[in-house]
Chain A
Amino acid sequence: MLQRFLDPTVLSGISGLDLIARTVVDGFIAGLHKSPDFGFSQEFAEYRMYNPGDDLRHVDWNVFARTERMYLKRYRGETNCQLTILLDASRSMKFTSHKIDKLEYARFLTASIAYLASLQRDAAGLVIFDDEVKSFVPPSTRQGQLARLLHAVEKAEVGSRTDFSKPFRHVQEFLHRRGLIVCISDFWENPEEVVKTIAPLRFHGNEVVLFHVLDPEEIRPKLRAPALFEDMESGDTLEVSPDYTAKEYPAKIDAHLEAMRSKAKGAGLDYHLIDTSKPLDAALREYLAIRGGRM
């Protein structure tokens, strides 16, 4: 029953991001309750070699007594990490061909991931950007962090055009601890440029996930008559024929998406294309898979 609430058009009827996030995540988890791969108990997870700087409270002293080696005993519930969500709020994110636009979808996704992270006691942070950083909530596990995140997401408004270089440099200055970085954007840029800008985040040991949010109309535009198209970010106009959108555009956008995927993979980034007409669970599953793999 709760699966219904993963549908973005249904979610758009719910007011309040916290309620949306709870609805999505509860519904999502309820749909996964038989899965053997995931769980959030105090169940033993692994031993790991002690590295300087690790918290001594997690050292298994019994093993040290027997082996004179220091191991850290870790439990699933304690495998917390630092999550930073980068949300693109450029003007192109406002595009939609159906009930909800890309920014709205990205808001739902951000809220759901943030809620999921708060359930796992992960330190979640948020960066909202267009051509510069518009809002920044540092990662934290403090009480009320979820509310701060959701408030920031709710206040996110479309700005101007996308420029990855400036905000990403800015983000690197804030990220001192390795963790998981989720970047949600429509990536209307040259894939090479995108990956080149984002890849440095990976060098600090971060896991980087790219959620490429696109409207179905952007992938396969439906045009019956010649029309005048206006670029939402630059304001340029161009006459477009249905013939072009039917034949040449699909090939170009497919090539672009493939380039994004291959370049991201090549740079060790996780890439996931999300259709805004599809439910949110695919993106959440991707997040959890990566989150699980980091334990």
Chain B
Amino acid sequence: MGFFAPWFLAGMAAVGLPIWVHLLKRHKTDPKLFPSLMFFEQREQSSVRHRRLEYLLLFALRTAMILLLALLFANPFIRRTPSLADGKKLVVVAVDRSFSMRSADRLTKAKDEAQKILGSLKPGDQAQVIALSGNVQALTQVVSDPAELRAAVASIEPGDGRSSFGELSRYLRSLMDAQKMRLEVHLVSDMQKSSMPPGFVDLRLNPGTSMVFHSVGGDAKNWAVENVTAPRRVYDPKRVKLQATVSGHMSPAAKKTVTLFLNGRELQSKQVDVPENGRAQAEFLTLDAPYGFSKGEIRIDSNDALSGDDHFYFSVERTDPRKVLFVDDGRKPRAQLYFRTAIDSTGDGAFQVEGQTAESAAAIADLSKYAFVVLSDVGTIPGGLANSLNRFVNSGGSLLISLGPASAVQPRVPVLDEAIESSNYATRAGDRFLSVTDLDAGHPALRSVDKFSQVKFYQTVKVNPMHSRVLAKLNDGSPLVLERSVGEGKVLAIASTFDNVSNDLPLHPAWVPFVSQSALYLGGGGAEQPVNLAVDSYVELRSGSAQSSGSAAEVLDPDGKRVLSLEEAVKANNFAVNREGFFEIKTAAGRRSLVAAHADRRESDLLPMEQETLDLWKGTGSAEDPAQSGGRTGDDEKRPWSLWPYILLLLLLVAVAESVVANGYLRPVVPDRQGLRREAA
């Protein structure tokens, strides 16, 4: 729009329109009938007057309307310096309360420093106290009451979030825009280098902002448990692999003891050698977890200033292998054999296949005990099973469908609800077989399926994907793998069978990865979310679909208190974990999980910013010294100030005036009825 703005000035040519209406159009009026012209005379003056503009006020208003309209579209602006209140300044005291401030007595020193700054304010000075953690939190309004400001500083508690100086700069820019005052910002922080935004431009401050840095940093030597890789579920305590990464920051090489705790009970300890400024890994191969959710923790003995990062929480769920219901018509036993073999060959034994025919499966009232259901080329589905499947998927269950000759005679794919168009046979006369050309390799179900293109498909079912997402296509353009979210659950369909008749997929290396990935993807049920999160990450409480909008979600914080209000419980889609610890989550769909939250490990790197960087940051807000601000000129301080609201207002006024004036000219003569009655009487 901005690029074409000058061209809108060409609209001023439309000024010719009122001129035509007021001047030229008058010459083409239709003759007016009059009973007799016996008292009229031809006058030269008439013709001359004819060509003069009439209704000058109306003409002027109409011309002004056109000009203003053209100007409005051209969006003119002027450059002017933002009007900052002369001489007035707003003192902003920003106290860092991020996770790194838990190191030694950094926060205490920071609060003392902030109190000193507040003590130096003159009476009447406007000030505001803000706290930096995961986000910028304003602890006071812009006030001049020292007691309120001091109380705000005193109330600052250490947080588990990660400070971001980019967020601080953004807040300061918007504060200046709102307050129209010069800002004097006192940042009391450990000035971590890791708090810098990815781009320096995000640190930019508005002219008129002066930064004063109060560093309360100390010893930067620190060891931390950087990460723990634990399985989400434990099916066999003997077949577990748990890895903990220990990192050192500004630290010498050291030997550290890594201890595994589960539900507060020490299980194992290992010694690792952490190199100077390096990382080391400890591996635990058993995890004797009780059934249900367990709170795990990895601890190291670091004896450094920041003890908060010497442990790392994680959660695991001990559970029996989950059952997978495999439904077929009993006539193609090889499909079940291949599928069962593929499931059993996966490493952790998470699933067990239970085979049923469609008729016997119809008798199963509750499918929720199954991780997911497989429909292997089932023709006619009994009504009871169809209803159970719909309920199961809508409430968060998953379904894997394979389509073959039996299902091809049905009009629609069950639950997926897509139309079946035809059954394709690759005959000897033609290509003899079809192969996969397009594959969504990023999809979780197909992520490790790298050699799918070598699979030969002899018979497929052509489905018209109206609502589904196509994950893989054959070379004739027909969809092979489709996915659709139904209610809280999801349906994955493959347009061929699981036996080696319609294709050679089960005999192919792609088969086992495909089945195991699909099982992991579907077996989680609904949107599976990680159980270990950094503080300030979001947990999904509901998918936003209509089915779960009425049911309540529930979040218990590490202290066991309910976090959500009643309104949030029935409406909120997400919840941000705001502190370290274990959160018990119950989603709107009814799925329970234990989420372990840990502080962002970038906070463990206590290396402070270089003074040069701080000076550069400070310089972005300095308007007085162009040399400091990187050669900025006075013009740069001026901002474009759009005139369109004023032009629009003027245009409205002119339009109203035009209506009033035009109405005055064109008002018809109304006979005076009162006068008529008087005369009649």
When C-beta atoms are compared, the residue in chain A nearest to B35 turns out to be A92
Q: Does A122 contact B (CB under 8 A)?
A: no
Kindly identify which residue among B33, B669, B677, B681 contacts A222, using a CB–CB cutoff of 8 Å.
B669
CA distance A224 to B666 in the complex (A): 10
Binding site secondary structure of chain A: mixed
Contact A228 B54 (CB under 8 A): no
Contact B35 A232 (CB under 8 A): yes
Contact A279 B41 (CB under 8 A): no
Which chain A residues border B39 with CB–CB below 8 Å?
249, 252-253, 256
Q: Does A231 contact B (CB under 8 A)?
A: yes
Contact A239 B676 (CB under 8 A): no
Contact B34 A229 (CB under 8 A): yes
Which chain B residues border A215 with CB–CB below 8 Å?
35
Contact B31 A3 (CB under 8 A): no
Contact A243 B45 (CB under 8 A): yes
Contact A244 B40 (CB under 8 A): yes
Q: Does A278 contact B (CB under 8 A)?
A: yes
Q: Does A65 contact B (CB under 8 A)?
A: no
Q: Does A186 contact B (CB under 8 A)?
A: yes
Query: What's the least CB distance linking B284 to chain A, in Å?
Result: 100
Contact B35 A278 (CB under 8 A): no
CA distance A37 to B30 in the complex (A): 52
CA distance A105 to B676 in the complex (A): 15
Contact A92 B32 (CB under 8 A): no
B23-50 interface code vs A (CB 8 A; 1 in, 0 out)? 0001001111111111111110111011
Which chain A residues border B680 with CB–CB below 8 Å?
3-4, 6-7, 279, 281
Which chain B residues border A7 with CB–CB below 8 Å?
673, 676-677, 680
Kindly identify which residue among B32, B669, B679 contacts A229, using a CB–CB cutoff of 8 Å.
B32
Kindly identify which residue among A3, A231, A237 contacts B681, using a CB–CB cutoff of 8 Å.
A3
Which chain A residues border B41 with CB–CB below 8 Å?
238, 244, 248
Given contacts A225-B26, A229-B34, A230-B34, contact A4 B49 (CB under 8 A): no
Contact B49 A229 (CB under 8 A): no
Contact B31 A278 (CB under 8 A): no
| CB contacts between A and B, total, < 8 Å | 107
Which chain A residues border B46 with CB–CB below 8 Å?
226, 239-241, 243-244
Contact B50 A226 (CB under 8 A): yes
CA distance A232 to B47 in the complex (A): 22
Q: Does B671 contact A (CB under 8 A)?
A: yes
Q: Does B3 contact A (CB under 8 A)?
A: no
Interface members, chain A 205-241 (any B CB < 8 Å): 215, 218, 221-222, 224-234, 236-241
B48-65 interface code vs A (CB 8 A; 1 in, 0 out)? 011000100000000000
Kindly identify which residue among A236, A239, A281 contacts B50, using a CB–CB cutoff of 8 Å.
A239
Which chain A residues border B40 with CB–CB below 8 Å?
229, 238, 240, 244, 249
CA distance A9 to B49 in the complex (A): 36
Q: Does B646 contact A (CB under 8 A)?
A: no
Q: Does A188 contact B (CB under 8 A)?
A: yes
Query: What's the least CB distance linking B455 to chain A, in Å?
Result: 86
Which chain B residues border A281 with CB–CB below 8 Å?
680
Q: Does B4 contact A (CB under 8 A)?
A: no
Contact A232 B49 (CB under 8 A): no
Q: Does A48 contact B (CB under 8 A)?
A: no
Kindly identify which residue among A232, A239, A277, A282 contacts B36, using a CB–CB cutoff of 8 Å.
A232
A121-157 interface code vs B (CB 8 A; 1 in, 0 out)? 0000000000000000000000000000000000000
Contact B35 A239 (CB under 8 A): no
Kindly identify which residue among B31, B49, B676, B679 contacts A237, using a CB–CB cutoff of 8 Å.
B31
Which chain A residues border B54 with CB–CB below 8 Å?
224-225
Contact B671 A95 (CB under 8 A): no
When C-beta atoms are compared, the residue in chain B nearest to A226 turns out to be B50
Instruction: Write the residues of chain B forming the contact surface with A, with a CB cutoff of 8 angstroms.
Output: 26, 29-43, 45-47, 49-50, 54, 665, 669, 671, 673, 676-677, 679-681
In the complex, 24 of the A-B residue pairs with CB atoms within 8 angstroms, ordered by the A residue number, are A4-B677, A7-B676, A7-B680, A92-B35, A102-B35, A186-B35, A188-B36, A229-B31, A229-B34, A230-B31, A231-B36, A233-B36, A234-B37, A239-B42, A239-B46, A240-B40, A240-B46, A241-B49, A243-B49, A244-B43, A249-B39, A253-B39, A277-B671, A279-B676
Apart from the given pairs A228-B32, A232-B35, A241-B46, 20 other A-B contacts in the complex at a CB distance below 8 Å: A9-B671, A215-B35, A224-B54, A225-B29, A226-B49, A226-B50, A227-B31, A229-B31, A229-B32, A229-B37, A230-B34, A231-B37, A233-B35, A234-B37, A238-B37, A241-B43, A244-B40, A278-B679, A279-B679, A282-B679
The 7 A-B residue pairs whose C-beta atoms are closest, nearest first, are A92-B35, A241-B46, A279-B680, A230-B31, A188-B36, A252-B39, A228-B31
Instruction: Write the residues of chain A forming the contact surface with B, with a CB cutoff of 8 angstroms.
Output: 3-4, 6-7, 9, 31, 92-93, 95, 98, 102, 186, 188, 215, 218, 221-222, 224-234, 236-241, 243-244, 248-249, 252-253, 256, 277-279, 281-282
